[in-house]
Structure 1
């Protein structure tokens, strides 16, 4: 056996993505280069690692076992690199964070200074829906999660980061009659919702229910970006977090429609399991957040105060 760490890395990525093309894109390598390394790796085993049925690549049972071993080897190599940097007095290690979809407009600003200062930190940030974020916390797959509504079924610690404001928003292409009660917007125009389980949808539904508003016309979209584009196009109105529509407000593509008891204000929270044994890297990040969050908010989110 004379395989290289590079070959292990390529093979592991292929097994994760089930595609040579996708693996080459993820590793920033050409497709022929990945194919060549896969063949060289396969040549060292008498049992097939992968097989192609139709045009789909499948990993054999043997290949899956080799992939699991490869992951352990690569993790050990990474641990050696982290220890080397730690002995030099540098913060080094893996930092894993899951973020609800709207949080992608928030979390990078609370990470960039930390990762730029500590080059030995490998960041893994998964932007997904609320249900997946909660599941990643339950399974202890991440160090931290960013949520606007703290799940009450888990025992969590948290640091409050900043306010999350949700407004009634419409596009600027169509004009509604300003002399008519704004409640008619909900009754006469389609209301656009995120998918079930979304914290934004829950906040919107709670507001509508508490104010006894009828919304006979409803549409559902499964991403914040799709919802935003639909509102811009004039498909309807929605209650949306302002954090994701800064540029659209500035460009005049969207408008905030003043409405009684809006905005809805929640809080972005960085949360983690109380029972979790945080790594030195995670502890260093927590110290950074507590010390720097006020500065980060002032430098990047002062525009909030305009609304």
Structure 2
């Protein structure tokens, strides 16, 4: 056999995603390049690693076993690289963070200074919804997670970073006022929701339940950015975190509509499992956060104060 680390990486990613298209996106390669590497890797085995049923790719039992070995080999190879670099005296290793989707407007600011200081550290930040973030914590796949609602069933340590403020917003070009009532009817304002599993959706549903509001027209979208664009386009209104709509508010294309029981204020928390043995990189990052978080908030998030109590 004469397979390469690159072929192992390609096959492992294909097995993880069960898709050549998704694997190519993750690896920043073209689909033909991934297909060629997968074919070359397969030719070294007498048993099929993958199979296609209909138009869907599946990993065979043998392929899953090879993928597990490939993951171990790739991790060991990565460890060798980190050890080599650490002999130069630099902090080396990988920092893995899972972030709820709205957190993408927050976490980069708390990472930037650390990554500029420690140039030998690799960063893997997965941006997804709350359910998947919690799952990554449960499986011990990440060092830290950024959430605005703490999961009750996990034993976690946490560092509170900053407030997460949610207001009812709409495009004033389309809405002079927002009508929400305990009974539906013509003229009720359409509400735009995030997908199931989103913490923002949970906050919005909790608000409606508390006020005993019965929904009229409802729109559901699968990302915070999609919700923002829909609100900008006048499709409806939504309870949204201010952190993601700064430009819309400052340009006047979005407006906060004062409503009873709003704003909803939660807290962005950096969390990790209590049983987690933090790596030197994770420990250094935690120290950085505890020392620098106030300066970061004052430098990058002071603008929130202008909208916090509208």
- Cα distance, 1:111 vs. partner? 1.4
How many pairs are equivalent? 302
Partner of 1:194: 194
- What is the CA–CA distance in structure 1 between the aligned matches of 2:24 and 2:190, rounded to whole Å? 43
- Cα distance, 1:29 vs. partner? 2.9
- Cα distance, 1:169 vs. partner? 0.6
Partner of 1:170: 170
Change (3 A) 1:253 1:205: same
Q: Does 1:132 align with 2:136?
A: no
- What is the CA–CA distance in structure 1 between the aligned matches of 2:50 and 2:210, rounded to whole Å? 56
Question: 1:47 aligns to what SS in structure 2?
Answer: coil
- What is the CA–CA distance in structure 2 between the aligned matches of 1:145 and 1:39, rounded to whole Å? 37
Aligned pairs (5 A) from 1:54-203: 54-176=54-176, 184-186=179-181, 188-203=188-203
Q: Is the 8 A contact 1:93 1:281 kept in 2?
A: yes
Give RMSD over aligned pairs. 2.3
Q: TM (normalized to structure 1)? A: 0.88
Q: Is the 8 A contact 1:90 1:120 kept in 2?
A: yes
Partner of 1:283: 283
Q: TM (normalized to structure 2)? A: 0.88
- What is the CA–CA distance in structure 1 between the aligned matches of 2:268 and 2:232, rounded to whole Å? 25
Q: Is the 8 A contact 1:167 1:240 kept in 2?
A: yes
Deviates more, 1:57-66 or 1:270-279: 57-66
Aligned pairs (5 A) from 1:216-231: 216-231=216-231
Deviates more, 1:161-170 or 1:132-141: 132-141
Partner of 1:241: 241
Gaps of 5+ in 1: none
- Residues 92-132 of structure 1, C-alpha deviation per residue, up to 9 Å, x if partnerless? 22222111121111111111222232233222222222222
Partner of 2:40: 40
Q: Does 1:9 align with 2:13?
A: no
Q: Is the 8 A contact 1:172 1:232 kept in 2?
A: no
Question: 1:267 aligns to what SS in structure 2?
Answer: strand
- Cα distance, 1:86 vs. partner? 2.4
Change (3 A) 1:186 1:145: farther
